[in-house]
Amino acid sequence: MPGNILLLQGPMGPFFKRLSRDLEGQGDTTVYKINFNAGDWLFYRGKRSVNFRGTQEQWPDFLAKKIGAWHIDTVYLFGDTRSYHQLAREIAARFSVKVGVFEEGYLRPHYVTLEEGGVNKRSSLSQDPDFYHNLTVPQEPQPQPVPVSYAYCCAAWYATWYYIAGWLGRYHFRHYNHHRPFNTIDEAYLWLRAGFRKHYYRLRQRGILGKLTTEHSGKFYLSPLQVHCDGQIRTCGNVASAAAFIRRVIRSFVRNAPPDTLLVLKHHPLCRGYSDYTRLIQKLTRRYGCEHRVFYVHDLHLPTLLEHAIGTIVINSTVGLSSLLHNTPVITLGHAVYDMQGLTFQGKLYDFWKAPGKVDQNLFRKFRNHLLMTNQINGNFYNRPASKTSETGMNVQRLVMERSGYSVYKDTVTKAPAVWADIICHPEESALQIANDSAVSSHQPSYADGQAAAVEAPGDMLAESTQG
């Protein structure tokens, strides 16, 4: 897909710099970059990159001028719930510029997501089961992905330098408004605390997995918690925060689940340093008299838990897809791309506890294959697999070249030549989505907001922060 491409904010680290080399390596492609803080600048500086140092109110005009001056055809960004990116999507629509949204993979591990227009609530994926039932699935099996580890150490290393640079350059970008607390000292402390908690809970909770997979196998519900600052909770969920989700699930479990069952709440591994819901859960279990029925766990093996669970309760986490892979029923309390009849429970939470239903595995296979064909790319933002053909370690053709595939316009089945990322853009749908997005609050909770939330849940200091 030759043309002029604009990169906005990407994952912390050099991924967008590597991506620019891959894109320009295809020929007839020029890549530009806008940096918003010194952390962005650290990992992407030099030729055809500029720094935006204005206020958020000045951002739409600034972006519009750059799109016009540079004749931009496509914008790439990471995280479509960030305030700068929400405005960018609206400006891009006015110029009929396509927006490619990177996000962690719908299918994990080993994949990242690249979807036109948006992900999750803003995804153009159909949620009509008939759409997938009517697809002609290729007879040959999908190739196995190249294994890519998450590389926690790489991500931590990039984050450390990103925050250090951001702090050192804070006066140069004095108007920058980050989507989460942006204090280097606080972040360093939280990462150190995360390392301590990882080892602490590993020792304290050893033996629990064995009990859950033997004497309690098939007798517990699993509720994986999402990242404390997940913007998808704010924009795609029907609960205000992870803490509110915990309250709702425990209350419903006590009132409606069979008395011989357990509830396992699993902490998100990326939240070890930022939040700990121990006090909140203890308070709730004492209130409802269910201390012996609720387990709060941290680093237990997730696939093993899914294999032995009765059902899985999520907001819109991609763990739901992993649960479907293990044939374990799922209910979502928010908007998820896989939330449809046949894949997830469509009733109320209080009914799910007693009759979670079954997973239509034929529908799931077709849905999963469709994801692999359209918006899942084998790779990782922080730890690139060895590759002799690309800087990112990914298949560059999945990023820039047209291929044959399906249109994924809502609830239609159309065999059509695919454009960029196999998705056909429909302007009328984009306009409707922009109108819906305008209702989303632009308030960015601060560190002080998290402190206020800790009054009720002291161990959950940053539970109300927004996505990183």
Higher-pLDDT residue of 266 and 399 is 266
Q: Could you read off the pLDDT of 336-361 as tens digits, one per residue?
A: 999 999 999 999 999 999 999 999 99
Return the SS3 of 438: coil
Last residue of a domain, one of 366, 397, 420: 366
User: H or E segment at 20?
Assistant: helix 15-24
Domain range for 116: 3-150+375-437
- From the list 406, 320, 410, the residue with the least C-alpha distance to 359 is 320
Mean pLDDT of 220-242: 80
Q: What single DSSP character describes residue 33?
A: E
Q: What is the pLDDT of residue 394?
A: 93
Q: Is the pLDDT reported for residue 391 higher than 60?
A: yes
Q: Is the pLDDT reported for residue 86 higher than 70?
A: yes
- Tell whether 310 and 383 lie within a shared domain: no
Q: What is the pLDDT of residue 434?
A: 33
Q: Could you read off the pLDDT of 379-390 as tens digits, one per residue?
A: 999 988 777 789
Q: Give domain status of residue 427, yes or no.
A: yes
- Tell whether 334 and 387 lie within a shared domain: no
Q: What percent of the chain has pLDDT over 70?
A: 81
* Burial (CB count within 10 angstroms: exposed 0-12, middle 13-18, buried 19+), residue 53: middle
Last residue of a domain, one of 312, 347, 366: 366
- Tell whether 286 and 428 lie within a shared domain: no
Q: Could you read off the pLDDT of 10-64 as tens digits, one per residue?
A: 999 999 999 999 999 988 999 999 999 999 999 999 889 999 999 999 999 999 9
Q: Is the pLDDT reported for residue 392 higher than 80?
A: yes
Measured between alpha carbons, how far is 299 from 27 in angstroms, rounded to an integer? 45
- Tell whether 322 and 433 lie within a shared domain: no
- Tell whether 384 and 324 lie within a shared domain: no
Structural domain tally of the chain? Answer: 2
Mean pLDDT of 54-77: 97
Measured between alpha carbons, how far is 269 from 266 in angstroms, rounded to an integer? 9
Q: Could you read off the pLDDT of 104-162 as tens digits, one per residue?
A: 999 998 999 999 999 998 999 999 999 999 998 665 667 788 888 767 789 888 988 99
Name residue, tokens 């519009």. 64
Q: What is the pLDDT of residue 139?
A: 57
Contact 53, 398 (CB under 8 A): no
- Tell whether 238 and 279 lie within a shared domain: yes
Q: How many C-alpha atoms does 220 have within 13 Å on its Cβ side? A: 27
Q: What is the pLDDT of residue 141?
A: 67
Q: What is the pLDDT of residue 231?
A: 63
Q: Give domain status of residue 190, yes or no.
A: no
Q: Is the pLDDT reported for residue 201 higher than 90?
A: yes
**Radius of gyration over every alpha carbon of the chain, rounded to an integer in angstroms:** 22
Return the SS3 of 118: coil
Q: What is the pLDDT of residue 179?
A: 84
Return the SS3 of 234: helix
User: H or E segment at 156?
Assistant: helix 152-168
- Tell whether 100 and 16 lie within a shared domain: yes
Contact 100, 114 (CB under 8 A): yes
Ramachandran angles phi, psi of 40, nearest 5°: -60, -45
Mean pLDDT of 173-196: 86
Q: Give domain status of residue 345, yes or no.
A: yes
Mean pLDDT of 90-112: 95
Q: Give domain status of residue 253, yes or no.
A: yes
Q: What is the pLDDT of residue 2?
A: 61
Which residues neighbour 158 within 8 Å (Cβ) at sequence distance 6 or greater? 12, 13, 14, 43, 382
Length of the chain: 468
Q: Give domain status of residue 195, yes or no.
A: no
Q: What is the pLDDT of residue 222?
A: 98
Measured between alpha carbons, how far is 34 from 65 in angstroms, rounded to an integer? 12
- Tell whether 352 and 404 lie within a shared domain: no
- Tell whether 340 and 285 lie within a shared domain: yes
Going by pLDDT thresholds of 50, 70 and 90, the confidence category of residue 432 is very low
Taking the model in full, what pTM does it have?
Answer: 0.82
Which residues neighbour 241 within 8 Å (Cβ) at sequence distance 6 or greater? 233, 453, 463, 464
Return the SS3 of 444: coil
Q: Give domain status of residue 453, yes or no.
A: no
Last residue of a domain, one of 345, 366, 387: 366
Q: What is the pLDDT of residue 413?
A: 31
Q: What percent of the chain has pLDDT over 90?
A: 66
- Tell whether 213 and 362 lie within a shared domain: yes
Q: Is the pLDDT reported for residue 178 higher than 50?
A: yes
Give the CATH number of the domain where residue 47 resides: 3.40.50
Q: Give domain status of residue 244, yes or no.
A: yes
Supply the mean pLDDT for the chain: 84
Going by pLDDT thresholds of 50, 70 and 90, the confidence category of residue 168 is very high
- Tell whether 128 and 14 lie within a shared domain: yes
Q: Is the pLDDT reported for residue 202 higher than 80?
A: yes
Name residue, tokens 């400006």. 91
Q: What is the pLDDT of residue 438?
A: 36
CB atoms within 10 A of CB 379: 24
Q: What is the pLDDT of residue 331?
A: 98
CA distance to 64, 100, 240, 452, per residue, from 235 (Å): 25, 19, 9, 21
Going by pLDDT thresholds of 50, 70 and 90, the confidence category of residue 453 is very low
User: H or E segment at 184?
Assistant: helix 184-204
Q: Give domain status of residue 187, yes or no.
A: no
Q: Could you read off the pLDDT of 308-330 as tens digits, one per residue?
A: 999 999 999 999 999 999 999 99
Name residue, tokens 């999908």. 142
Q: Is the pLDDT reported for residue 282 higher than 90?
A: yes
Q: Is the pLDDT reported for residue 402 higher than 60?
A: no
- Tell whether 12 and 57 lie within a shared domain: yes
